Amino acid sequence: MRDYAFSEGTAVVTGAASGIGEALALDLAGRGSHLVLIDRDAERLDDVAGRIRARHGALKVATHVVDLSDEKATAVLAETLVAEHPETTLLVNNAGVALGGRLDQVSLEDFDWVMAINFSAVVRLTYAMLPVLKAHPGAHVVNVSSVFGIFAPAGQVAYAASKFAVRGFSESLRHELAEDGVGLTVVHPGGIKTRIAETARTGSGVSAEEYEKGRKQFSRMLRIPPEKAAAQIVAAIEKRRPRLLIGASAKVPDVLVRLMPGRYWRLVGRVAGPPRRSRTAD
């Protein structure tokens, strides 16, 4: 398959108001791609779109404010993308949220919230856009998983489940799309400095003390600038790489899981410390 051509293509990017999505939108615009930007944060999304329009006046930049946890709103968005953007050549499923807590500390409603955004929306949007992408041989799909789609730490059961689901979905779909001349890259970022720690939910069964400790630990992991991550993703798209690990925080766990399948937590758990059990905060 030839290299992906950015110039004059149209890229749909979810989670485009901040973090990796924002950085990707700016990078893709610099390469001449028209943009369809999606996020639930209207103010931030308008700011990103405005900056791109100011720098790249010849590009078309459309925005859609949608909460991807809303199944009906996501379904409407899918129909809108197909109807209004049949020229799409790149779909980037980047939007994601986090939920901290063991399974007995989170509600099923919160679990479903994570799965809706991190996985179900990826499936729904990709499913809807398949005819559009197949109509443009040389098109490409990017699904952003996580390092937690490679290994699954205690206390991240919902998030890990959603990101492993994205990984499996992507691996199988890549094989299906190959015969149509459409590429697919699944991305496993390590600690990217985004707003995910700010927007993460915590299970109602997590104490205030445990929450604060987890938040600090999670924040310390987020060291890679989103611009650096976006540059690597764009390079992977261009060269049709099937899989991209970003940062040592993704590459080291990948090796560890390969060397110690089913047993890696014995080592990781000793380093991270055992998951603490605590009472629900008052």
- Render 64-128 in DSSP notation, one character per residue: EE--TT-HHHHHHHHHHHHHH-TTEEEEEE-----EEB-GGGS-HHHHHHHHIIIIIHHHHHHHH
Nearest partner of 144 among 169, 124, 127, judged by Cα:
169
What sign has the CA pseudo-torsion 144, 149, 153, 159? positive
- To the query of whether residue 264 is one of the catalytic residues in this protein, the response is no
CA contacts within 13 A on the Cβ side of 14: 28
Q: Among residues 4, 127, 159, 264, which one is catalytic?
A: 159
Distance (Å) of CA 39 to CA 34, 45, 65, 77, 208: 17, 6, 5, 11, 29
Question: Where would I find the H helices in 178-207?
Answer: 196-199
CA dist., res. 35 & res. 25, Å (int): 7
Tokens 């290994």 correspond to: 151
3-state SS, one letter per residue, for 114-171: HHHHHHHHHHHHHHHHHHHHHCCCCCEEEEECCHHHCCCCCCEHHHHHHHHHHHHHHH
CB 42 within 8 A of CB 49: no
CA–CA separation, 203 vs 184, rounded Å? 33
d(CA 20, CA 14): 10
Active site residues: 159
